[in-house]
Amino acid sequence: MWMPVEDEDQMGRDFFGFLANLVKVFPSLKTRPLHITGESYSGTYIPYITKTYFGLEDPPVKLVKIAIGDGTLGSDWEFEVLPTLTVIETYPQLIGYDPDVYKYFREQSHLCGFDINLTYPQHGHFPTLNPQEPNFGDDAAKRASKKKSFNEAFKLDSHFTRNNLKVRSLEPGSERLAKRDQWKRDIIGRPNGTIDPYYGCDLYDEMIDYAVNFSLPWKGNDEENGFDVYQIPDALDPEAPMDASIFLNDNRTRAAIHAPTSKNWAQGINYPFNNSFRGDPSVEPMAFLTELATNASHRGVGVVIYSGNDDSLVSHIGSEVVIQACIKNTTFGGIQGFTRKPSTPWYGDDGVFAGIVHQERNWTYILVKGAGHLVPQQQPERAFVFLREFVFGNNETGLVTNVKGHTTVIGGEDPQLANTVLTGQSGIYYGSGTTQYTYTYPTATIAAWETFIAFATDTENGKVAASATAAQLAARTAL
């Protein structure tokens, strides 16, 4: 009879118990280099597994590198909600390229303490996030609990039943615009500089609600099935079927992989930690990353953090915040985070720009252009190059070097890539179950947005410029 683990520390111990038994069967594995890679909630699993490894006197394997993609290294406020403004700047289609709506989200981000300033290197840790909880009735507890299970954290139950914003039936364009303007006028009723009393600081859910109610082509989509949190440009409703159970529960597959026929495979479960369904009780990995970084340096274990640029649920900026805020590797004189802002391009085998890479002190950060939460699925060729060059290989592109006091970065630094935002694609895919159309906003709308955003943000230090006021919204919506 199996027993559920109490927390992630026990999971780590059990994992190495499994590896120890595996090495007994295949002794040569003890000295072969082990790479541990994973995505999503592996951002919690892998750090705990690595922490366990560093605590073993005689580990059964030789760990050489870990790689975490779009991972949950921080709390859900940090990896999901804090990056909302960056997500909007990456895909302004989510708010219909509307400057007034952007100013509103920018102000709310500031009021909630999400507009943190990244410096290179970072000086001092960021204050603990203590945002105002939303007023979603019974569902408020879901957001209040930062120890949600995998299913709670990663399913789009978006997310909650709303009283003031609900997905409406399709209306003519003029009616949609009228309701959008009414939404903006509703903001005016609050005193300047106040947090929305309904959403609180849950800007991520508010962004999704706005998109499915007012922004084309998401407008009118089903809230659960018509907004892909993992891949922003995908507005299919319903989504393309991605259910692997048909293949994995086929008896031929079961026989080939020696899987039991008495149970069916499921994509995920609400895991009962310590026989309870109240979610993962373990502290977020960001709490011990400094210790992990120091041990990784001493033991020669490389760390790779990568993100898909089109992921809204675990945006790359959340990973960058964790790196700058939490990693103070005393082996390197107490330097906190990276000393240079990631801005070196990397390319696929086809010679096409694939994203941004940065490497310092045995840590590698990769941003993958055109990929969402599941990088290998959405950009398989780029994922292959990334794995070959930066996980199994030792490609030095983006590596910071210092020779006789002169710092250089292999592969150079592109000032245009030093912005916090790598703008996403212009076209949004939509259709029923498969891509049937691509929606692109008018050229004039995009040009006007680019002019606005160039003046609205301060990209020198990654911090958003002055906040908008409700009076500004009033002036625009009254026209």
> Consecutive sets of 10 residues in the chain, 479 residues long: mean pLDDT of each?
82 96 96 96 96 96 97 90 96 96 93 90 79 66 41 38 34 55 60 82 93 90 76 89 87 93 84 78 90 92 97 95 78 80 98 97 96 95 98 97 91 92 95 91 97 76 36 34
CA angle 69, 70, 75 (to 5 degrees): 125
Within a domain: 80? no
Q: What is the DSSP letter of 234?
A: B
Q: How many domains does the chain have?
A: 2
State how far the Cα of 440 lies from the Cα of 443, in Å rounded to an integer: 8
Question: b/e for 54-63, b at 16 or more Cβ within 10 A?
Answer: beeeebbbeb
Within a domain: 3? no
Question: Could you tell me if 71 and 91 lie in one domain?
Answer: no
Question: Could you tell me if 161 and 60 lie in one domain?
Answer: no
pLDDT at res. 180: 60
Report yes or no: 98 and 472 within 8 Å, Cβ to Cβ. Answer: no
Domain extent, residue 205, equals: 85-245+432-477
Q: pTM to 2 decimals?
A: 0.85
User: Residue 416: which residues within 8 A CB-CB, separation 6 or more?
Assistant: none
Question: Could you tell me if 64 and 100 lie in one domain?
Answer: no
Strand pairing category for 437-439 and 463-464: unpaired
Query: What is residue 438's three-state secondary structure?
Result: strand
Within a domain: 425? no
State how far the Cα of 238 lies from the Cα of 270, in Å rounded to an integer: 24
Question: Could you tell me if 157 and 212 lie in one domain?
Answer: yes
Question: Could you tell me if 44 and 90 lie in one domain?
Answer: no
pLDDT at res. 130: 73
State how far the Cα of 401 lies from the Cα of 408, in Å rounded to an integer: 5
Alpha helices in 165-281 (DSSP H): 173-188, 203-214, 245-248, 251-257
Which helix or strand (DSSP H or E) is residue 474 part of?
helix 470-477
pLDDT at res. 190: 60
pLDDT at res. 21: 97
pLDDT at res. 395: 97
Closest by Cα among 456, 442, 382, 418 to 96: 442
Within a domain: 1? no
Within a domain: 232? yes
Within a domain: 398? yes
Question: Could you tell me if 196 and 340 lie in one domain?
Answer: no
State how far the Cα of 49 lies from the Cα of 47, in Å rounded to an integer: 5
Question: Could you tell me if 196 and 95 lie in one domain?
Answer: yes
| Count of Cβ atoms closer than 10 Å to residue 242 Cβ | 8
